Amino acid sequence: MQTNESPNLPAPNHKPGCHDHASKNFIRGVSRRKVHVYAPRPEEIILEDGVHALSHIPRFNGNTVDPYPVLAHLIWCYRIAAHRFPGWKALHKACLFHDFHEWITGDMASPIKQYQPCYHSFERRHVETHRIRFELSDGLAIKDYVTQIDTEAFYIEREFLQDQANYYWLLDYPRRPLSTIEVDTLRELIEMKPEELRAVFHKIYSEEFCK
């Protein structure tokens, strides 16, 4: 007889309090280096691992007309920041890396996060680990600007990338009289292949933050 009760699933191997580096709670990037997901260390984070993964991980759980990866979102937020605040490198870098930890945690939708009681502390741990690894500013002013740019990007992405009519309007945008840096760069990014996005990210990183 069927019931509405949840099935008795076997308990996971991981137990609270066992977040040690000898456990098997890790993932590997394309470099084959381990990142321990419950107790990450900055030295475990490899730039290319994150860039590669984020060029494939979709925004909005893949609910866009065409593929739109997290890496494109990061580059777009960086370009908006660089256009509005030229010379403010700390903000540019913070925008470029603000969701970089999602190569490990995934781009989980906010409504789902609300039903994961431990998720926010888990995510904060990875955000802080990546902040240390890439020497990102934790100043409140920069955080506020990153949040503002990220929120604006979210609403524009949702409007143009999840609605077919708006999406095809966006693709035809260069032939329209009005042009903005936000829309122009978004259109450019959505037409890029994963390897092209990775090349753009590395170019930005090496030219602006490694000199």
Res 20: pLDDT: 46
* 26-209 placed in CATH 3.10.150.10: no
Res 173: pLDDT: 60
Res 11: pLDDT: 40
List of residues 6+ apart from 193 with CB closer than 8 A: none
Res 178: pLDDT: 44
For 28, how many CA atoms within 13 A lie in the half-sphere containing its CB? 5
The residues spanned by each domain of the chain are 26-209
- Give, for all 211 residues of the chain, the pLDDT tens digit: 444 433 343 444 444 444 444 457 899 999 999 999 999 999 999 999 999 999 999 999 999 999 999 999 999 999 999 999 999 999 999 999 999 999 999 998 888 888 888 888 999 999 999 999 999 999 999 999 999 999 999 998 988 898 888 888 777 765 544 457 677 888 889 999 999 999 999 999 999 999 7
